[in-house]
């Protein structure tokens, strides 16, 4: 489920970096750095061109001057959104003129610059502007393949007509080389084709959404007559779109379908990569309930597909596809393709295993009662795997490494005195890394470090944008409920604070498996929708982390919410609030809660199920009825409605609408393709039926993020702030 939360929104400002004057600074809209193959330098956009920066000397060399990016007949150079070098370094593929597809800007224009001839040529010339997706140079740099209008095309970088490799059969409902809505949203699957390592074949997904019903959104603002916007959207209880995996011979155009076992109407194909050669594919298939994961090997010559590795879980198996951090994540092969790394929770913790190619032998690499989040680097030469984890504190994150043979102790790479959340962009050889870190009371910092000793090479400039946020003290705490559940939390107290007075509390909640709210990183404790300073206005602002969120507390913590969304998480939140109400400086008559998306659903459930605790609620873009949300997300965490529909009903806010007693502001965009506006209207009908008074704001044709249109975010923030001040006034009493 897509979500919007303060820390995530804050990160969107910080996520991209460019080099200015030799030091790193946050720059919205620029591109991530790209490492050289040997890891001794990185490439970056600077002054409209591309430079190479050597490490540790910081020497800059212009690789692509700005004037080389000026198309014939144009007075302005291309604005680089991202770029990729060919394997031999003689060509640069440039992405520009990006446009949004549902969540991200994955549609745009592509150009190839030949560094030898200095020739700049457009890919897909003559096609509609911003209609190309996921363009990739062939391994030898002689051709480029891309998706346009649901088909895969290939063309030579030296010119000539493009060839359609998928017989021009692609439509809005028959999708080649990319995915339908639910695969994009819930599996993070976007780029749906792969060049073989030898450049002779292209493997791809074909998604057939013809059997999936359209949700019809109504656009009433962009023309005199309203028009319908259809979205292929399978709700909980409906089968997913069938898939196929095809392999195309790029020379002959011949296509062979892989013989993937199982019913494609009752399974998902979450991952597909070349299996460290050009003759086999490795696939990950999930069953409909997503509690079984099967790894399969396909022979592209025959299409024959066999089982390699099978895993089951009594609840569900998380799978987030291959699109991670804005790039395509590959498959970690070792020993010349004889084994691969795999992450699973099957022993109760999220651990890394070394699995033989045939799946018959596996070795646990990360031993102990702790979770890893993601692998950052496999350094086979030195015999180590680097990964992110936090064994001691689930609100933080650090870099660790262990030996690939599973022997030896866990080594923490991040210095002990640098507490908080850390991120590393590590070069391929593992020698250098860009280290980004912060904590709730320290703005984000960056530095260049050498690994494995974490020696600091250069200070990076402080993030100037961080200073725009109010400075306040964030305090972390743990609360034990009467059920014995220990929950992490943070709070920001009023400034000044008088312990003899009682203050209102505003809870920020998400509460579902898609995200944490209690993390020790900069931005935590800031409410981006409040137009003033909550601390100086006399509010205690806080959040607590219930069971079922993706905190690094083991499988039992995370999966206890299975078939219990809307119940277990709501109970935990309310029981934590009851303990907090015992604090002498908390005013029990002024308790507010707010959240967005899944957090909006939690807000509604808390207001309806525990009206004695929560007096004011602001719910944004909430799922009012779990049976109206998409099948992939809802069935993963709740099961199949055909088997346990009562659980869906028992966890849905609409079931408890009759019990509203407090002040409720409900907000939804009419153009929300994720949590449809239907959720709002059905919930409104339930509240009306029981004569419950509330306030409601619809934002015409706004999506799930409610940001489109002039003045939208200011209006939303003003509405939020005024409602909170009116119904839950700040200040000590």
pLDDT per residue as tens digits for the range 619-643 = 999 999 999 999 999 999 999 999 9
Report the distance separating Cα 477 and Cα 574, nearest Å: 17
Report the distance separating Cα 626 and Cα 603, nearest Å: 14
Q: Given this model, what pLDDT does residue 471 score?
A: 58
State the burial class of residue 263 (Cβ atoms within 10 Å of its Cβ: 0-12, 13-18, 19+): exposed
Q: Given this model, what pLDDT does residue 472 score?
A: 73
Percent of the chain with pLDDT over 70: 92
Q: Given this model, what pLDDT does residue 316 score?
A: 97
Report the distance separating Cα 49 and Cα 60, nearest Å: 12
Contact assessment for residue 421 and residue 521, using Cβ atoms and an 8 Å cutoff: yes
Residue 32 — very low, low, confident or very high, per pLDDT cuts 50/70/90? low
Residues 416-475 pLDDT 10s: 999 999 999 999 989 999 999 999 999 999 999 999 999 999 866 444 444 454 457 999
Q: Given this model, what pLDDT does residue 460 score?
A: 61
Q: Given this model, what pLDDT does residue 18 score?
A: 24
Helix/strand/coil for 677: helix
Residue 177 has pLDDT above 50, yes or no: yes
Task: Please give the distance of CA 353 from its chain centroid, rounded to a whole number.
Answer: 24
Strands 503-508 vs 540-544: parallel, antiparallel or unpaired: parallel
Helix/strand/coil for 549: coil
Domain membership of residue 587 (yes or no) is yes
Q: Given this model, what pLDDT does residue 327 score?
A: 46
Report the distance separating Cα 508 and Cα 593, nearest Å: 6
Q: Is the peptide bond before 56 cis (omega within 30 degrees of 0)?
A: yes
Contact assessment for residue 332 and residue 378, using Cβ atoms and an 8 Å cutoff: yes
Instruction: Output the 3-class SS for 15-61.
Output: CCEEEECCEEEECCCCCCCEECCCCCEEEEEECCEEEEEECCCCCEE
Domain membership of residue 383 (yes or no) is no
Helix/strand/coil for 412: strand
Contact assessment for residue 133 and residue 142, using Cβ atoms and an 8 Å cutoff: no
Domain membership of residue 331 (yes or no) is no
Q: Given this model, what pLDDT does residue 323 score?
A: 43
Output the CA angle 562-566-571, nearest 5 degrees: 95
Which is more confident, 23 or 573? 573
Contact assessment for residue 440 and residue 474, using Cβ atoms and an 8 Å cutoff: yes
Domain membership of residue 610 (yes or no) is yes
Place of tokens 């892989």: 258
Q: Can you give the residue range of the structural domain that contains 503?
A: 469-727
Helix/strand/coil for 7: helix
Residue 28 has pLDDT above 90, yes or no: no
Q: Is the peptide bond before 656 cis (omega within 30 degrees of 0)?
A: no
Q: Given this model, what pLDDT does residue 290 score?
A: 97
Q: Given this model, what pLDDT does residue 466 score?
A: 47
Domain membership of residue 446 (yes or no) is no
Place of tokens 């060049």: 195
Contact assessment for residue 224 and residue 247, using Cβ atoms and an 8 Å cutoff: no
Domain membership of residue 57 (yes or no) is no
Q: Which residues pair with 34 in a beta bridge?
A: 43
Residues 498-522 pLDDT 10s: 999 999 999 999 999 999 999 999 9
Residue 1 — very low, low, confident or very high, per pLDDT cuts 50/70/90? low
Q: Which of 445, 364, 345 is nearest to 402 (CA)?
A: 364
Neighbouring CB atoms inside 10 A of 294's CB total 19
Q: Which residues pair with 491 in a beta bridge?
A: 475, 542
Query: Dihedral of CA 546/471/20/71: which sign?
Result: positive
Q: Given this model, what pLDDT does residue 221 score?
A: 94
* Structural domain total, the chain: 1
Contacts of residue 381, defined as CB under 8 A and 6 or more positions apart, other chains included, come to none
pTM: 0.93
Residue 14 — very low, low, confident or very high, per pLDDT cuts 50/70/90? very low
Q: Given this model, what pLDDT does residue 168 score?
A: 81
Place of tokens 């063309």: 155
Which is more confident, 57 or 723? 723
Percent of the chain with pLDDT over 90: 88
Domain membership of residue 638 (yes or no) is yes
Contact assessment for residue 436 and residue 422, using Cβ atoms and an 8 Å cutoff: yes
Q: Tell me which long-range contacts 295-302 makes (C-beta under 8 A, separation of at least 24).
A: 295/342, 295/359, 296/260, 296/261, 297/357, 298/245, 298/258, 298/259, 298/260, 300/201, 300/203, 300/247, 300/256, 300/258, 301/256
Q: Given this model, what pLDDT does residue 549 score?
A: 97
**For 14, phi and psi rounded to 5 degrees?**
-100, -5
Q: Given this model, what pLDDT does residue 320 score?
A: 62
Domain membership of residue 397 (yes or no) is no
Two tokens at 317?
Answer: 């198996």
Give me the CATH number covering residue 488.
3.40.50.1820
Q: Given this model, what pLDDT does residue 459 score?
A: 67
pLDDT, mean over the chain: 92
Residues 538-583 pLDDT 10s: 999 999 999 999 999 999 999 999 999 999 999 999 999 999 999 9
* 348-352, 454-458, 653-657, 692-696: least confident range: 454-458
């Amino acid at each position: 489920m897509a979500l919007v939360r303060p820390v995530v929104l804050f990160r969107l400002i910080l996520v991209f970096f460019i080099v200015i004057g030799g030091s790193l600074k946050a720059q919205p809209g620029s591109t991530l750095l790209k490492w050289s193959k040997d890891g001794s330098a990185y490439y970056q956009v600077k002054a409209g061109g591309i430079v190479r920066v050597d490490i540790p000397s910081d020497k800059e060399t212009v690789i692509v001057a700005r004037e080389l990016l000026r198309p014939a007949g144009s007075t302005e150079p291309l604005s680089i959104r991202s770029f990729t070098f060919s394997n031999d370094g003689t060509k640069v593929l440039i992405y520009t003129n990006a446009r949004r597809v549902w969540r991200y800007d994955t549609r745009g224009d592509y150009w190839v610059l030949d560094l030898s001839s200095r020739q700049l040529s457009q890919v897909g010339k003559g096609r509609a502007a911003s209609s190309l997706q996921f363009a990739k140079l062939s391994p030898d740099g002689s051709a480029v393949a891309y998706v346009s209008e649901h088909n895969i095309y290939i063309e030579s970088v030296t010119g000539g007509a493009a060839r359609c490799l998928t017989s021009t059969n692609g439509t809005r409902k028959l999708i080649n080389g990319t995915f339908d809505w639910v695969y994009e949203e819930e599996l993070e699957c976007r780029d749906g084709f792969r060049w073989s390592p030898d450049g002779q074949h292209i493997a791809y997904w074909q998604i057939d959404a013809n059997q999936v019903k359209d949700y019809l959104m109504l656009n009433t603002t962009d023309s005199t007559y309203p028009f319908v916007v259809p979205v292929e959207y399978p709700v909980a209880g409906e089968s997913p779109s069938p898939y196929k995996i095809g392999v195309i011979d790029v020379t002959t155009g011949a296509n062979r379908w892989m013989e993937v076992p199982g019913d494609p109407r009752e399974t998902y194909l979450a991952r597909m990569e070349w299996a460290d050669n050009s003759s086999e594919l490795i696939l990950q298939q999930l069953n409909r309930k997503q509690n079984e994961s099967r790894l399969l090997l396909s022979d592209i010559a025959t299409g024959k597909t066999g089982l390699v590795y099978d895993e089951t879980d009594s609840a569900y198996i998380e799978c987030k596809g291959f699109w991670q951090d804005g790039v395509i994540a590959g498959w970690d092969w070792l020993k010349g393709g004889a084994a691969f790394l795999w992450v699973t929770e099957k022993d109760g913790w999220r651990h890394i295993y070394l699995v033989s190619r045939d799946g018959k032998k596996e070795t646990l690499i990360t031993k102990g009662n702790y979770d890893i989040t993601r692998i950052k680097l496999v350094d086979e030469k030195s015999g180590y795997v680097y990964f992110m984890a936090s064994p001691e504190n689930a609100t933080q994150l650090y870099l660790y490494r262990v030996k690939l043979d599973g022997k030896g102790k866990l080594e923490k790479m991040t210095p002990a005195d640098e507490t908080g959340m850390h991120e590393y962009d590590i070069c391929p050889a593992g020698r250098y890394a860009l280290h980004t870190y912060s904590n709730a009371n320290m703005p984000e910092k960056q530095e260049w470090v050498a690994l494995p000793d974490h020696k600091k090479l250069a200070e990076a400039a402080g993030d100037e944008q961080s200073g725009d946020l109010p400075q306040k003290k964030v305090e972390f705490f743990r609360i034990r409920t009467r059920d014995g559940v220990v929950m992490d939390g943070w709070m920001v107290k009023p400034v000044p604070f008088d312990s003899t007075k009682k203050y209102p509390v505003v809870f920020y909640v998400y509460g579902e498996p898609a995200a944490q709210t209690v993390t020790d990183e900069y931005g935590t404790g800031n409410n981006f929708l409040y137009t003033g300073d909550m601390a100086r206005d006399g509010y205690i602002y806080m959040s607590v982390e219930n069971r079922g969120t993706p905190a690094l507390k083991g499988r039992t913590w995370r999966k206890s919410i299975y078939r219990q969304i809307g119940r277990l998480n709501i109970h935990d939140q309310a029981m934590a609030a009851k303990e907090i109400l015992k604090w002498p400086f908390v005013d029990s008559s002024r308790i507010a809660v707010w959240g967005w998306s899944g957090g909006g659903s939690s807000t509604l459930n808390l207001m309806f199920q525990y009206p004695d605790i929560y007096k004011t609620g602001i719910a944004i873009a909430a799922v009012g009825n779990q049976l109206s949300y998409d099948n992939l997300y809802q069935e993963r965490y709740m099961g199949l409605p055909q088997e346990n529909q009562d659980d869906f009903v028992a966890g849905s806010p609409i079931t408890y609408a009759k019990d509203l007693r407090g002040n409720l502001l409900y907000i939804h965009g009419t153009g929300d393709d994720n949590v449809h506006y239907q959720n709002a209207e059905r919930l409104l009908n339930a509240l009306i039926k029981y004569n419950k008074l509330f306030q409601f704001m619809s934002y015409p044709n706004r999506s799930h993020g409610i940001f489109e249109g002039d003045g939208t975010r200011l209006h939303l923030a003003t509405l939020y702030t005024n409602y909170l001040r009116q119904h839950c006034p700040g200040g000590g009493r």
